[in-house]
């Protein structure tokens, strides 16, 4: 008999009709009652952590989830977290960093349609997640529409379709059909004890560049944040003509603020040394992101800043692959 703990946090999957639209309001036991196809050989215990739309999810709530896993770790064989889809990828990434050395699966799932509706993807997603939580595997995973994704590689790319999430720059872990789990990439278990580190700093800013971005925006960033993630164009260059951003990047790094360069392109990652516009930025000791997605970069930077104030150490943490978030061959160290 496999023992699975289901932790409910709200989201569309647990939403009911409210006075101003859908709002989370269903208990985990109600959720589970809709999943009649769960095997009799699986014992599922339900607990509610919170009932919130994932738009309202904050880094402090990631800490609550990580602590709930840690507190119940020895009592269960696997864990399922039901979550709203809009910020689910941030949560799965954050848990991947906070919970190191997992010997059991932690599965994050949700749905595009509430589970109480007649046509919904929620029943399948919960059943698939419970099934995968019984696997002999360690790590954080997203299970959605029959696909299993590494927690640091999931990105929501569709707002309504059932296949809302895709695995970016990494193979899918597996596909689930009924009771069958077909693997394409099975991470080896870490030979270490579970290590829980929930220290986190939310002082992180994400800037998506566009033609016409004013350099003065970084004056504000300098006064309010400890780290900035710049979603640049293509391979990662920064403008240095007309509205020249490079002097401001120099100011930030000299002030001890971590500057990470990534790309607005979903696939294949940055390559800052390919073009002149990238190499000019690289001279200011910026941090490289390789082929990580923005959701993973945000949570990893918050986690790194929670551990240290040393920019060199933060850079080292970001540029080191953790929980399969960064393809080794694409990692660049200046």
Active site residues: 12
CA angle 268, 270, 271 (to 5 degrees): 110
Chain centre to alpha carbon of residue 123: 23
Kindly state the helix (H) or strand (E) to which residue 221 belongs, with its residue range. Answer: helix 217-224
CA angle 78, 79, 82 (to 5 degrees): 155
Q: What is the CA radius of gyration of the chain?
A: 20
Pairing of strands 154-156, 165-167: antiparallel
Kindly state the helix (H) or strand (E) to which residue 227 belongs, with its residue range. Answer: strand 227-232
Residue recorded with tokens 């930030």? 252
Residue 18 CB: number of other CB atoms within 10 A?
10
CA angle 181, 183, 184 (to 5 degrees): 150
Asked if 77 and 2 count as a contact pair (C-beta separation under 8 A), the reply is: yes
Q: Alpha-carbon distance 113 to 34, whole Å? A: 13
Chain centre to alpha carbon of residue 153: 7
Q: Which residues of 74-107 are buried (b: 16+ CB within 10 A; e: fewer)?
A: eebbbbbbbbbbbbbbbbbbbbbbbbeebebbbb
Chain centre to alpha carbon of residue 31: 24
Q: Alpha-carbon distance 54 to 9, whole Å? A: 8
Q: Which residues of 45-55 are buried (b: 16+ CB within 10 A; e: fewer)?
A: ebebbebbbbe
């Amino acid at each position: 008999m496999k023992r699975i703990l289901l932790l409910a946090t709200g989201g569309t999957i647990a939403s009911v009709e409210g006075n101003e639209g859908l709002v989370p309001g269903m208990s985990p036991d109600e959720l589970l009652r809709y999943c009649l196809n769960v095997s009799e050989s699986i014992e599922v215990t339900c607990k509610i952590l919170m009932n919130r739309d994932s738009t309202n999810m904050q880094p402090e709530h990631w800490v609550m989830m990580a602590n709930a896993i840690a507190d119940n770790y020895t009592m269960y064989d696997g864990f399922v977290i039901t979550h709203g889809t809009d910020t689910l990828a941030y949560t799965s990434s954050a848990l991947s960093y906070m919970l190191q050395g997992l010997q059991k699966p932690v599965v994050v799932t949700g749905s595009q349609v509430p589970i109480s509706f007649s046509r919904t993807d929620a029943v399948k997603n919960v059943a698939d997640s419970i099934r995968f939580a019984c696997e002999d595997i360690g790590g954080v995973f997203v299970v959605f529409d029959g696909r299993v994704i590494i927690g640091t590689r999931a990105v929501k790319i569709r707002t309504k379709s059932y296949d809302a999430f895709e695995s970016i720059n990494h193979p899918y872990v597996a596909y689930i059909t009924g009771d069958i789990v077909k693997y394409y990439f099975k991470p080896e278990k870490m030979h270490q004890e579970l290590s829980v580190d929930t220290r986190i700093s939310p002082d992180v800013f994400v800037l998506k560049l566009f033609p016409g971005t004013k350099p003065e925006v970084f004056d504000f960033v300098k006064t309010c944040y400890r780290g900035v993630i710049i979603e640049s164009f293509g391979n990662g260059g920064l403008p240095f003509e007309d509205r020249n951003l490079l002097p401001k990047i120099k100011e930030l790094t000299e002030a001890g603020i971590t500057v990470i360069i990534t790309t607005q392109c979903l696939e294949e990652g940055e390559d800052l040394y390919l073009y002149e516009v990238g190499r000019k930025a690289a001279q200011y000791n910026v941090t490289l992101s390789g082929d990580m997605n923005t959701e993973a970069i945000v949570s990893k930077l918050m986690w790194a800043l929670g551990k240290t104030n040393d920019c060199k150490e933060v850079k080292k943490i970001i540029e080191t692959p953790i929980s399969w978030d960064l393809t080794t061959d694409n990692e660049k160290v200046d």
